[in-house]
Amino acid sequence: MVPAGMRSKTPRLATATTNSRRAFIAVIAEGKSREVGVCGIDTSAPHELLISCMVDTHTFMETISLLDSYQPAEILLVETNKSRRLHEEIKKHFKNSMCRVIAIARKYYDQAKGADDLKRIAMNCLDMSLLKNYIVMGSVACLVKYVEFIQGIYIAKQTIKVVVNTASPVMLMDYTSIAALEIMRGAKSGSVKQSLVSKIDNTQTSVGKRLLRTTLLRPPSHLKTIEDRQELVGIYLNNPSSFFDTTEILPEFPDLELLMAQLVLIPKSVSQRVFEQGVASIVALKSTLDMLPKLRTCLISLASQLEKKSELLNFIIK
């Protein structure tokens, strides 16, 4: 019999309700006529590579709004000899935040390498026009190089979903509006606890928390999206038993974002801690696969009670 003090413990991942620290890294590249490419990844949940390309205004309001929704820990900019308006606006906006703004040498914004990197790590099909976009590919190359160097890891092949957002139908708000509405911080105290998002956040998963914050900072302006979400909220309000069944299941899921990080990022050196994290990921993956049928059954039961089909609910089930 193994003594209690010597007994090894099975490593565990955090549950879905655990507040994990976000480590979002965003790379900004600028072309002619205020064309801006933004490439970002959350290294604590690296299952998605977010890419945006836009032609912004002279105040770069859309770029700043997008960065606000990401809440990056670090923003990487091209190192330049002359001051650029975009760089000044970003530094000014994030001056009093915990976000670090870092200048990176232009040689790391390599378009050809960015295209090769994207082909290597992407799990979904890519548009050829995206691979030819030198602004976006330059930011991808810089991001991959920076993440792999700083984290001391390799990004596994075909493990990341590339999400391209070229013209997102959202309502843009400048910093003054966000501050006045107290979305992220209270106006008087500056405390996160006094913010709107803190007061209404009853989400059950880390993914839900991120979606809520993004929705408040960049509310959708597409009518169909708004109506579909309102319809689904109404369905749950009219079916409280299904609502409580769903909310009981969700917290039982492991932190899927943390799980994805273990599956996507491959350490360059293997240690006891890395080994334990790998075991924890396998256990969490099994737990997730066991829980999915239960959640799906609950949603199917809800859908069967409806007189009118819900497109959004059916999409989630499928």
Token pair of 190 as six digits: 């500056």
Q: For all residues of the chain together, what is the average pLDDT?
A: 85
User: Same domain for 39 and 101?
Assistant: yes
In a domain, 13, yes or no: no
Mutual angle of helices 256-264 and 272-304, in 10-degree steps: 130
- Residue 54 belongs to domain with CATH number: 3.30.420.110
- Residue 6 falls inside a structural domain: no
**Residue 12 forms part of a structural domain:** no
Same domain, 227 and 213: no
Judge if 45 and 143 occupy the same domain. yes
**Cα dihedral across residues 111, 112, 117, 122: positive or negative:** positive
Q: Report the pLDDT value the prediction gives residue 14, as an integer from 0 to 100.
A: 52
Joined together, the tokens standing for residue 194 give 């006094």
Both 114 and 42 in one domain: the answer is: yes
- The domain tally of the chain equals 3
**Domain for residue 93, yes or no?**
yes
Q: Tokens 């979002």, residue?
A: 24
- 230 falls within a domain: yes
For 304, the domain range is 222-317
279 and 197 housed in the same domain: no
Q: Which residues of the chain have pLDDT under 70?
A: 1-22, 166-168
Same domain, 154 and 271: no
Reported as a single tens digit per residue, the pLDDT across 124-135 is 888 888 899 999
Residue 108 inside a domain? The answer is: yes
131 and 33 belong to one structural domain: yes
pLDDT at res. 179: 82
Q: Per the domain annotation, does 10 fall within a domain?
A: no
Structure confidence at residue 284 (pLDDT): 84
116 burial via Cβ count (<10 Å: 0-12, 13-18, 19+): middle
Query: Are both 158 and 68 inside the same structural domain?
Result: yes
What tens digit of pLDDT does each residue of 53-98 get?
888 888 888 898 889 888 899 999 999 888 889 999 999 888 878 8
Do 154 and 42 belong to one domain? yes
> Would you say residue 4 lies in a domain?
no
Across the chain, how many H-helices and E-strands are there? 13, 8
**Do strands 48-55 and 35-42 pair parallel, antiparallel, or not at all (unpaired)?**
antiparallel
Question: Are residue 208 and residue 129 in the same domain, yes or no?
Answer: no
Same domain flag for 62 and 107: yes
- 89 shares its domain with 133: yes
pLDDT, tens only, 275-297 = 887 888 888 888 888 899 999 99
- Residue 81 has what pLDDT? 87
Give phi and psi for 29, each to the nearest 5: -130, 140
How many CB atoms sit inside 10 A of residue 124's CB?
10
